[in-house]
Structure 1
Amino acid sequence: MRLKYYIIAIMALALTACSDFLEPDSISTFDTNYVFSNVDDARKGVNAIYVQFGVDGFRSRLSNNMTGNTDIERQSGWTSSGDRYQIWDLNALSSNGDLRQFWNAAYTAIRDANIAIEGIEASAALNSSDVLISKTMYHLLGEAYTLRAYWYSMLTYHFGDVPNVRLAPKAGNDFFLGKEDRNVILSQVIEDMMSIEEKMLWAEELPYGIEQVNREFTLGLIARIALQRGGYYLTPALNMERTSDYQTYYQIAKEYTEKLINLKDRPLPEDFRQVFLNNAKFVTPVNDDILFEVPFAIGNGDVGWNIGVTVQGGATASHNYGSGNNYMAIPPSYYYSFDTLDTRRDVTCAYYIVNTDFQEEFVNGGISNISQGKWSRYYLDAGPGASSAKGTGINWPMLRYADVLLMHAEAENELNGPTAAALESMARVRRRAFDSALWDEKVDNYLASISTSKEDFFDAIVNERAWEFGGEMIRKYELIRWGIYSEKMAETVQTLKDMADSAFEGTGPYADLPDYIYWKRNESGRFTVLNPNRKIAAAPDDTWTRESWLLGLRNEVTIYQEWITKDWRNYIDQGPKPGVARYIFPIPEEAVTNSQGVLANDGYGF
């Protein structure tokens, strides 16, 4: 069942459209006591919080566009001064429209969450003698707490210290709030969720399953934000630090991942590809890998338009699937970090496109344009129209059970080293990645090799999360909280240079990788590559097309392709402080102006 939050008639609630949170809209003539006096209207009131997932500030910005560049996803921000390019290049101005849209979406969602929280907490229905009514109201309260926590997590990742709005807008409130310490905010939202999660419902108990916030997602989000709170963050002085109580939050992450594992464990589905195909097939299984996914209605959502395998469409195309591109490419350094037998690689990374004849062919741009293969409008059961582009309706996964298992392994290792429990959580994720006949070597022996120290196991966690979540656009947040953002960017650039040199010189650590690849369409018309893993002298016959591969990393003018030397330069040594990636962005000037002098863009080298 698909929850079409964005076409629910919430106008009847008079929870009106968004404006800057410093100038909130009136909640009009409807009294919140009435709105939250019964389950049906309270449900609509909470639905209002979800609306911001359907605006550009989330659906095509925050979710899958604003989170490059990393060691596993990249885009060339230096080629334009446009809003998204400024963000990719870590040099966004306070006038940046994408940041303004995100800011307004976040604070509108927070406003609507505050309205719902105050309304439900004051409602007699919360403690109704009718057990079902009371349970439903408590669950709705948990949804509101959880959604508010998500938006504050994102705000603090992108802007650092931000205004902490925890009251619904009403006459007499102070609407001109200054910045609150990000650690205070994160601690509060963690405590909020901890106080309510036991009264929430599991996805299988809810009418819309994983298309609405559920208890398992809340448990997972507690752990995710606890790791954020216990991790490193950028201070206004441009230092990466973490607080002295960081282990307290690793303990929370450990406890709440274990709580979910103990209460609602589930096997990871064996077919890794199917997890993401389900998004395009509008299939939403409960007790599966995805715990919560944003439910885009048909005509909404940009998955398969600006992320995923490219489809060339338009009025002259022979197919009905429309057009979709990929804003974020995958660097070959990531592609070749996979074990060649890891089934996740060819799900995550694709170097083919679908042309106007609805045939698969080699990707434009070759080695510089490997795409995120987990999604595509190409995977839809029916084309949405030859001239369609945005609005595919493909849902966006927000948290998976595999993430819970790896967070558990990470937290356990941080507190106690690579214990048997930490090893088993990682093993569960790796087992799905390899054929069972390979488990002795690829799971058991591998885990034994990285279980000798806390440091080795942490490095393995960094790698495993890359292989598991490529293209899901959460890597940036991990590199930040681990305090290794700049370090990993420098490592990526060096690896790409070494690959380029090996291809041209025929020696070096990557000399065996393909300088050229050979491809064709097989008997079923699918794109297939003869030599994805190794260099070969030539194809066996002329049915194969040869394309430059790692040789494409160099040229005669700049030696290394400019995207290698420029995509990450502001993350490494050309930002305000060499060795520190200034991932924090300026508060939008609209918010600064409307704050009447309370907010300012100070610190962080602004």
Structure 2
Amino acid sequence: MKTIKKILIILTAVLLSGCSDFLEPDSPSTFDKVLVYSNLDDARKATNNIYVQFGQDGYRTRLSITMQGITDIMTGGDKSSTKDNYQIMALKAVSSNGDLAKAWTSAYTAIKDCNFVIEGLSNSALFNSTDPAISAEMHQLIGEAYTIRAFWYSQLVYNWGDVPYYRNAPVAGDNFDLPKTDRNQILSEMIDDLRAAETGMKWASQVPQSCQQVNREYAIGMIARLSLQRAGYYLKPDMTKDVATPADRAAYYTIARDYSQKLMTLKDRPLATDFAQIFKNQCNRIYPSESDMLFEVPFAIGAGEVGYNVGMNVASSDKHPYGKGGHDYSMPLSYFYSFDTKDKRLPATCGLYDLTNPAGTTLTLIPSAVSSTGIAQAKWSVAYVEGGNGSSVTKGTGINWPMMRYSDVLLMFAEAENELNGPTQAAKDALKRVRQRAFDSANWSTKVDDYITTISASKASFLKAIVDERAWEFGGELLRKNDLVRWGIYEDKMLETVNKIKAIGDQSIANDPNSIYANYIYWRVDNKKITIYDGLNSNTPPPGYNANVTVTTDISTGDTLPLDAWQRSDWSNKMKSSTTGLYNTFLDTQYSPYIDSTPIRYIQPIPSGTISNSAILVNDGYGFTN
């Protein structure tokens, strides 16, 4: 079987040897359905088509990254820019925005492809074959289609609210000009579909591509995730927030709790002990089948932008083999300082150095400390790739994108159980497993046991702890916006973030020696390896630091000279000017749209091309004027 990963790059104009069969029109819409689904090989090829849109710009850059917006743990963009992606980040996208059109088109193309596969498989004589192996494979294929369709509808609902709803494969003569369907109906039916389909699916260890292929673990996890979305808050066209009815909240929290628990019972697994290694595995094409990753979008070199616009900065140069890396978003100081200093997820999540290539030198890469407004997503870097991707690789890094991890299931269970019954022992135990991985065992007594006892004082305090834990666990993975939306606290967390950043700036210019926010970041380089002084929680410089020493760099080794000399640059004092009293301009350029808008209008306008081709659809509500 040709891998799903290969099919994802055909439409990115990267033609791999041995993949010419994927250039054929494999879309089920162009085949005789009886013929296509009459044998397993062709049915598999047709089903592979439902993965194609993950490799298109509408998803790999726009829906998965740009449209996840600015949150309390990531920031980016520029509200003054007219670029399509910055319009979206600044909450001012218009219906003619090209990036919105790409995301909308990818979503409905993928849904159409899933509908074809579901119809073809359902009507195939093989679907209920008396051969158990054949029947099992067909049920796995249809489960993949139901799961991927549910994912796309979930994203449409989060970003556009009520949307046109297509459940059937298109047939000539059908009316394709459908009105919007209530988002609650769409989510409810997606959940029902998955609940019926997941029992016939295979575990990741039973499918050829492991966690790179939709599997039963991911399908069960998606039932829980969709149920929390269905039970949560959402924005209505009149710009008020609504939430599911009490009966629906109870019902869907129960489904979320039961299906999280189902996976924990049927396919439990220990969390990987090395948090950072989970993501370095992705960079190095290592895909364990029964570890943290339940499903990750499979990318090959030439596809995907993980490590290019989500990850660490790596300067491009023909003098090193890694290619270019960077990030469209940065982590705000408020997020950095929210971590416990002993939390092992902090250095694995917040990248504090860039890799540069000074002009005119023969050095490969030299590290230097980031600015306080440029903290990167340390989970991914093209420099983590052993041997490198090649000096010419930029966007198409081939690093996979995480869709769901097992720690997510544990935290969804803890959240749902708390909502239904308060902080029970089962809820505390699930949270405990996530926190134990985050700290050395020597610290478990205080950082895990005592912490959980404290936050379990009430249902509200336990939920607040879940909100915090999901921030620390999934930083950089771009799940946060949707979480904040369904909790109904997007506005609260954004205002809280801005106030925290301002407080950091206020304290920095006061030059308080007891401040927990360091004014400066200190670092030195030895043999091209950076050491960042572990003192960002105080204003005490490294022992022996001498501001009068002129620091240079040996271009042949990358060493900081003198070898024991520390360099320093502004850190928290960059948040506010001691001369003008003004806060850093990034608060205005990136955060002001989110604190000037109550509630936050995260809903996007339907693309103008769709509106002009429809006799029904209009961009009504949400303050849209186009």
For residues 75 and 545 of structure 2, what CA distance do their matches in structure 1 show? 35
- In structure 2, the partner of 1:374 is 379
Q: What is the TM-score normalised by the length of structure 1?
A: 0.94
Deviates more, 1:404-413 or 1:355-364: 355-364
Answer yes or no: is the 8 Å Cα contact 1:349–1:373 preserved in 2.
yes
Answer yes or no: is the 8 Å Cα contact 1:227–1:253 preserved in 2.
yes
Paired AA for residue 423 in structure 2: P
Paired AA for residue 282 in structure 1: R
Deviates more, 1:60-69 or 1:91-100: 60-69
Answer yes or no: is the 8 Å Cα contact 1:288–1:401 preserved in 2.
yes
The match for 1:540 among 533, 537, 544 is: 544
Matches of residues 401-480 of structure 1 in structure 2 within 5 Å? Answer: 401-480=406-485
Answer yes or no: is the 8 Å Cα contact 2:139–2:200 preserved in 1.
yes
Paired AA for residue 479 in structure 1: L
For residues 331 and 177 of structure 1, what CA distance do their matches in structure 2 show? 42
- In structure 2, the partner of 1:559 is 582
Answer yes or no: is the 8 Å Cα contact 1:341–1:434 preserved in 2.
yes
Q: What is the TM-score normalised by the length of structure 2?
A: 0.91
The match for 1:600 among 618, 622, 626 is: 618
Paired AA for residue 114 in structure 1: N
Report deviation, 1:290: 0.5
Identity %: 48
Answer yes or no: is the 8 Å Cα contact 1:518–1:539 preserved in 2.
no
For residues 467 and 483 of structure 1, what CA distance do their matches in structure 2 show? 19
**3-state DSSP class of the match of 2:398?**
coil
- In structure 2, the partner of 1:91 is 92
Q: Deviations over 1:333-364 (max 9, x none)?
A: 00000000000000000121111234343345
For residues 488 and 100 of structure 2, what CA distance do their matches in structure 1 show? 23
For residues 42 and 519 of structure 2, what CA distance do their matches in structure 1 show? 62
In the TM superposition, structure 1's runs of 4+ consecutive aligned residues that sit over 6 Å from their partners are none
- In structure 2, the partner of 1:581 is 600
**3-state DSSP class of the match of 1:77?**
coil
Matched, 1:307 2:310: yes
Answer yes or no: is the 8 Å Cα contact 2:368–2:530 preserved in 1.
no
Report deviation, 1:385: 2.4
- In structure 1, the partner of 2:300 is 297
The match for 1:512 among 512, 516, 534 is: 516
Deviates more, 1:382-391 or 1:434-443: 382-391
For residues 5 and 53 of structure 2, what CA distance do their matches in structure 1 show? 15
For residues 531 and 510 of structure 2, what CA distance do their matches in structure 1 show? 29
Paired AA for residue 362 in structure 1: S
Deviates more, 1:496-505 or 1:70-79: 70-79
**3-state DSSP class of the match of 1:560?**
coil
Paired AA for residue 142 in structure 1: G
Gaps of 5+ in 2: 11-18, 358-362, 547-564
Matches of residues 66-465 of structure 1 in structure 2 within 5 Å? Answer: 66-244=67-245, 245-315=248-318, 318-356=319-357, 357-363=363-369, 366-465=371-470
**3-state DSSP class of the match of 1:127?**
coil
Answer yes or no: is the 8 Å Cα contact 1:322–1:388 preserved in 2.
yes
**3-state DSSP class of the match of 2:315?**
coil
Answer yes or no: is the 8 Å Cα contact 2:204–2:290 preserved in 1.
yes
For residues 560 and 40 of structure 1, what CA distance do their matches in structure 2 show? 61
Gaps of 5+ in 1: 17-26
- In structure 2, the partner of 1:23 is none
Paired AA for residue 137 in structure 2: T
Q: Deviations over 1:224-258 (max 9, x none)?
A: 01100100000001111112122211111000000
**3-state DSSP class of the match of 2:367?**
strand
Answer yes or no: is the 8 Å Cα contact 1:322–1:387 preserved in 2.
yes
**3-state DSSP class of the match of 2:75?**
coil
Report deviation, 1:533: 2.4
Paired AA for residue 551 in structure 1: N
Distance 1:452 1:529, change over 3 A: same
Answer yes or no: is the 8 Å Cα contact 2:26–2:49 preserved in 1.
no
Answer yes or no: is the 8 Å Cα contact 2:356–2:368 preserved in 1.
no
Q: Deviations over 1:271-311 (max 9, x none)?
A: 00110000001000011000000000121111111110000
Matches of residues 476-487 of structure 1 in structure 2 within 5 Å? Answer: 476-487=481-492
- In structure 2, the partner of 1:41 is 42
CA RMSD of aligned residues (A): 1.6
Answer yes or no: is the 8 Å Cα contact 1:280–1:395 preserved in 2.
yes
Answer yes or no: is the 8 Å Cα contact 1:204–1:287 preserved in 2.
yes
Report deviation, 1:524: 6.5
Report deviation, 1:529: 2.5
